[in-house]
Amino acid sequence: MMPPHAAGAALEARNVGFSYAALELKDICLSLAPGTITGIVGPNGSGKTTLLRLLDGILAPASGQVLLNGSVPLSALSRREIARRIAMVPQNGGGSPFHTVFQFAMQGRTPHLPRLGFETAADEAVVREALEMTRLGDYLHARVAEISGGEKQRLLLARALAQQPEILLLDEFTANLDINFQVELMRLIRQLTRERRLATAAVSHEINLLAAFCDRIVLMKEGRIRRQGSVAEVLTRDNLRKLFGLDFLVRPLPSGVPEVLPVMDESGQS
């Protein structure tokens, strides 16, 4: 495990605790470094979404702190200030179904506008670029109600990119996407993470997708971080078996990235 108080972290959770209904998050120490993607893996109900909401300041930690740039606690910032620096792609993004794709993505510019101001041509350019990158350039005037689930997912990413954040949080981001879009968008996210020095965190059940694109992996179970570190360090058969209570086949690909397969065949059980 890496030292919890990493230098140069864009966003850092220090001993964060939080409890909510049946779930209790305890002693969460996690730092997101600029230019890296951190994948968060864990069974349902392990607190992954709650962790992302704590990292975005939507939930306030009951103990510990979430710090921006290693020094500024999120609790000291307004929602608007946070939204200029942290963008989140939520699991079930809302949106008025009567908005057009372009109007929806434009919402990402709101935190940057003056209080009583309006979007300018520069804001439109940012939004257009974000929609082009997410392959929605041909849908600008389509209604949000009319686009497919996968297109909606890409639209939520476009809105987050329009925020021009320093930190990007993705919750079950690939859930509604075809395999080709999963790969294409993870490529885009990795490229943006590197070029714009974003600190990115992605929650997903697609372990192999995270293994291929992340720099670090965090394993969560029952509100605690069980393991964190490089992909090869963390995604081992032993760790995964403890996490999911299921046997896994783990083998390294030629690139060195581990490939993970759950063992589902009853007869093949060891």
Closer of 7 and 118 to other proteins (Cβ)? 118
Output the DSSP codes for 177-230.
Answer: --HHHHHHHHHHHHHHHHHTT-EEEEE-S-HHHHHHH-SEEEEEETTEEEEEEE
- Judged by CB under 8 A, the residue of 83, 199, 210, 217 near other proteins is 83
- Judged by CB under 8 A, the residue of 46, 163, 204, 239 near other proteins is 163
Give the phi and the psi of residue 247 in degrees, each rounded to 5: -80, 145
The answer to whether residue 113 forms part of the interface with other proteins (CB under 8 A) is yes
β-bridge mates for residue 203, sequence order? 40, 171
226, two tokens = 């069980």
Tell me the window of 30-38, 119-127, 191-199, 241-249 that interacts with other proteins (CB under 8 A).
Answer: 119-127
Closer of 69 and 78 to other proteins (Cβ)? 78
Closer of 97 and 262 to other proteins (Cβ)? 97
β-bridge mates for residue 28, sequence order? 16
- Judged by CB under 8 A, the residue of 94, 245, 254, 268 near other proteins is 94
| CB 146, min distance to other proteins, A | 10
| CB 209, min distance to other proteins, A | 23
Helices within the chain (DSSP H only): 48-55, 79-85, 101-106, 121-133, 149-162, 179-195, 207-213, 231-234, 237-244
- Judged by CB under 8 A, the residue of 37, 55, 88, 155 near other proteins is 88
Q: How many residues bind other proteins (CB under 8 A)?
A: 38
C-beta atoms surrounding 70 within 10 Å = 15
State the residues that interact with other proteins by CB under 8 A.
56, 58, 78-84, 87-88, 90, 92-100, 102-104, 107-108, 110-111, 113, 115-116, 118-121, 124, 145, 163
